[in-house]
Amino acid sequence: MQAKFVNPFVSGAQEVVGMVLAVEPSLGQLAARPRIFTSQQFNVTCGITGDLAGQIIYGMSLQTAEAITKKMLGDALVPNEELAASALSELGNMISGTCSSKLHSAGYTCDITPPTIIQGTNVSISTIDIPALVIPLNLPGFGVLEINVSLKERAVAQAA
Amino acid sequence: MAKRILITDDALFMRVTLKNILTQNGFEVAGEAANGKEAVQMYQDLKPDLVTMDITMPEMDGLEALKQIRDLDPEAKVVMCTAMGQKNMVVDAVQAGAKDFIVKPFQPDRVVEAVKKLLAA
């Protein structure tokens, strides 16, 4: 996957997470995988369509998911499972939306699909046979948010 | 009488968050729609003073719902409230009649200011 798709995700995720969770995230070691895959317990997936096609998975441990939910819901909201799942989906949606705007500035007009939650480890998305890049963001006090980005340009996607 | 607002967002979390912000600032939430289709129907049923509208939603997206609501009522006040802040989206929404465009994540004040400004007009 081309590096030019990576920077919008790194900066977009840092901006959104920084604002929503009020932390300064730091970037961990990037890694490549032959296809999109997550070994995390709690995952939010979001599709990208338009000039780029592919999938993003935001993966985290249950502990991190709980800590993020607690922060997002605050004291004003009575927590329940549905609201917690919705908050985490919305975090994925906001990161994807912000990244999509950055991709637009880089010359790629994209849309995003509504997020889906997958709970359970060792999930791979078999229909998407595009190499993935893993971007780990360390969120002090929350844990690690692992962003799996698997994208390719539309012309290539159509030909495949 | 408190001004009545229809909230449209597929995320329960965002509907609850917007509802809290609006009610804490003296507005009444007339209804909550989870997609564009529901919003169009609820707009006709509830006749709210203003609508907040997400864009990325299942069933019918916010841009289509905006167009349908403006067809029903050319004076409708619709504020887009979405994670999709790219220029083409803003242009499309404004051309379709959106009165403001709030990009998520937002600060509560941004929402309150936009709503107050539009409802004072």
Interface touch A73/B14, C-beta < 8 Å? no
Encoding tokens for residue A55?
């999938």
pLDDT for res A81: 86
Q: Which residue has the tokens 């129907």?
A: B41
pLDDT for res A125: 73
Tally of structural domains, chain B = 1
Q: Which CATH number fits domain A3-159: 3.40.1550.10, 3.10.129.10, 1.10.10.60, 3.40.640.10?
A: 3.40.1550.10
Give me the residues of chain A with pLDDT under 50, please.
157, 159-160
The structural domains of chain A, with segments of one domain joined by +, span 3-159
- Name which of B9, B10, B12 to mutate to probe chain A: the one with the most chain A Cβ atoms within 10 A of its Cβ: B12
Tell me what the mean pLDDT of segment B29-58 comes to.
97
Task: Tell me the average pLDDT of chain A.
Answer: 88
In angstroms, the Cα distances linking A96 to A11, A83, A110, B86 are 11, 20, 10, 12
Tell me what the mean pLDDT of segment B7-29 comes to.
96
Model confidence, pTM: 0.90
Q: Which domain holds residue B85?
A: 4-120
pLDDT for res A77: 64
Beta bridge partners of A149: A56, A133
Interface touch B13/A87, C-beta < 8 Å? yes
Q: Which residue has the tokens 């209804």?
A: B31
Interface touch A101/B56, C-beta < 8 Å? no
pLDDT for res A160: 44
Q: Which residue has the tokens 């963001």?
A: A137
pLDDT for res A88: 95
- Do the bridges between strand B78-82 and strand A116-119 make them parallel or antiparallel, or are there none, so unpaired? unpaired
- B24's CB contacts (< 8 A; 6+ apart) are none
Contact B77, B5 (CB under 8 A): no
Interface touch A93/B83, C-beta < 8 Å? yes
What ipTM describes this predicted complex?
Answer: 0.88
The percentage of chain B sitting over the pLDDT mark of 90, rounded to a whole number, equals 92
| Domain at B83, CATH number | 3.40.50.2300
The chain B residue lying nearest A15, using CA atoms, is B105
What DSSP state is assigned to residue A64? H
Helix (H, G, I), strand (E, B) or coil at B72: helix
pLDDT of B89 strictly over 80: yes
Calpha distance B67→B51 (Å, rounded): 13
Interface touch A87/B20, C-beta < 8 Å? no
| A69 and chain B in contact, CB less than 8 A | no
pLDDT for res A71: 93
- Comparing CA positions, the residue from A20, A102, A116 lying closest to residue A59 is A116
Q: How confident is the model at residue B65 (pLDDT cuts 50, 70, 90)?
A: very high
Task: Tell me the average pLDDT of chain B.
Answer: 96
| B85 and chain A in contact, CB less than 8 A | yes
pLDDT of B86 strictly over 70: yes
Contact A143, A70 (CB under 8 A): no
In angstroms, the Cα distances linking A63 to A10, A42, A59, A91 are 23, 9, 12, 16
